[in-house]
């Protein structure tokens, strides 16, 4: 059954109470993921956050099958969640079997029973620091209402995480996010330097940095930090 605007409104009213609840941010995020799963009637829903390695890791999932999404994207270094994270826009994949944007990931995902994905970037301080996503074992034409719902749930998750970051007692999730932010800032600096130096778009600059990190078997943040440091020394 497709999601209606009424469904979206009812779910957001219910989830809105989480902003005033006494539960911790981790429990609140799990509640958002659980509600997302139930509302979309999908085979998995979850929230992934980046870390110092710039790899998206699951921090909350409604179903073990969602683990395939994390595992396969890390293995193949491509996929809808990585795309949403890199471009900072919602990414829809209705049928991975006929989708050629991420050939290695798509083949492996279909083999694992993941056929459709809808992924929304998690915003924080003008950067994407994670992704909220839903997966289906069958092909699925995501509706405009579905996209609106996921964007709204993503914004609510971001609000809860911001509240955690600003609280006096930082949770483990907040600490993970702070590490992600520190790394992300360095990566953005390095991207900007390559874009200016070689007159290339942001995506190309990021792919060059990530390719270098993989070839040298080092973390992306370390490679970017060295690039920034060398530029500062020359200046």
Q: Look at 6-15, 27-36, 167-176 and tell me which has the smallest mean pLDDT.
A: 167-176
**Pick from 138, 166, 194: which residue ends a domain?**
166
**Mean pLDDT, range 26-38, rounded to an integer:** 83
Based on the domain organization, do 46 and 92 belong to the same domain? yes
**Domain residue limits at 223:** 172-234
Predicted local distance difference test score (pLDDT) of residue 95: 97
Residues 90 and 179 in one domain: no
Position 156 confidence tier, pLDDT thresholds 50, 70, 90:
confident
DSSP of 32-82:
HHHHHHHHHT-SEEEEEE--TT---EEEEESSGGGHHHHHHHHHHT-SHHH
For residue 127, the domain's CATH number is 3.30.450.40
Per-residue pLDDT averaged across 22-30, rounded? 75
Do residue 110 and residue 56 come from a single domain?
A: yes
Residues 194 and 161 in one domain: no
Q: How many structural domains compose the chain?
A: 2
**Based on the domain organization, do 70 and 144 belong to the same domain?**
yes
Q: Are residues 181 and 148 in the same domain?
A: no
The CA-based angle 97-207-137, given to 5 degrees, is 20
Residues 213 and 155 in one domain: no
**How would residue 174 be classed by pLDDT, with cut points 50, 70 and 90?**
low
pLDDT, tens digit, 9 for 90 and up, residues 33-62: 888 888 888 888 999 988 666 678 888 888
Q: Number of helices (H) and strands (E), helices first, in the chain?
A: 9, 5
Same domain as 114, residue 50: yes
Q: Which of 112, 135, 166 corresponds to the end of one domain?
A: 166
Which CATH number covers residue 218?
1.10.10.10
Average pLDDT for 180-203: 86
Domain match, 155 and 197 both: no
Of 166, 190, 225, the one marking the end of a domain is 166
* pLDDT band per the 50, 70, 90 thresholds, residue 142: very high
How far is the C-alpha of 129 from the C-alpha of 220, rounded, in Å? 15
As a whole number of angstroms, the distance between CA 19 and CA 15 comes to 8
For residue range 90-124, list pLDDT tens digits in order: 999 999 999 999 999 999 999 999 999 999 998 87
Indicate if 26 and 140 belong to the same structural domain.
Answer: yes
Residue 128 banded pLDDT, cuts 50, 70, 90: confident
Residues 162 and 177 both lie in one domain: no
How many residues can be counted in the chain? 235
Question: How does strand 91-93 pair with strand 116-124?
Answer: antiparallel
Measured in whole angstroms, the distance separating CA 168 from the mean position of its chain's CA atoms is 26
């Amino acid at each position: 059954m497709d999601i209606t605007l009424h469904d979206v409104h009812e779910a957001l009213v219910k989830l809105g109470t989480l902003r005033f609840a006494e539960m911790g941010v981790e429990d609140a995020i799990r509640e958002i993921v659980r509600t997302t799963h139930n509302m979309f009637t999908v085979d998995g829903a979850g929230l992934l956050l980046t870390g110092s390695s710039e790899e998206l890791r699951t921090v909350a999932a409604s179903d073990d099958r969602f683990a395939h999404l994390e595992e396969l994207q890390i293995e193949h270094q491509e996929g809808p969640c990585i795309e949403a994270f890199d471009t900072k826009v919602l990414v829809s994949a209705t049928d991975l079997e006929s989708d050629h944007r991420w050939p290695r990931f798509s083949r492996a995902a279909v083999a694992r029973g993941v056929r459709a994905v809808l992924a929304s970037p998690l915003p924080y301080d003008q950067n994407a620091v994670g992704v909220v996503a839903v997966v289906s074992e069958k092909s699925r034409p995501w509706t405009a209402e579905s996209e609106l719902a996921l964007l709204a749930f993503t914004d609510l998750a971001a609000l809860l995480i911001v509240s955690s970051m600003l609280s006096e007692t930082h949770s483990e999730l907040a600490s993970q996010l702070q590490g992600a932010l520190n790394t992300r800032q360095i990566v953005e600096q390095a991207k900007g330097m390559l874009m200016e130096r070689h007159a290339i778009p942001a995506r190309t600059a990021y792919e060059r940095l990530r390719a270098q990190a993989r070839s040298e078997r080092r973390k992306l943040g370390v490679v970017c930090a060295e690039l920034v440091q060398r530029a500062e020394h020359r200046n």
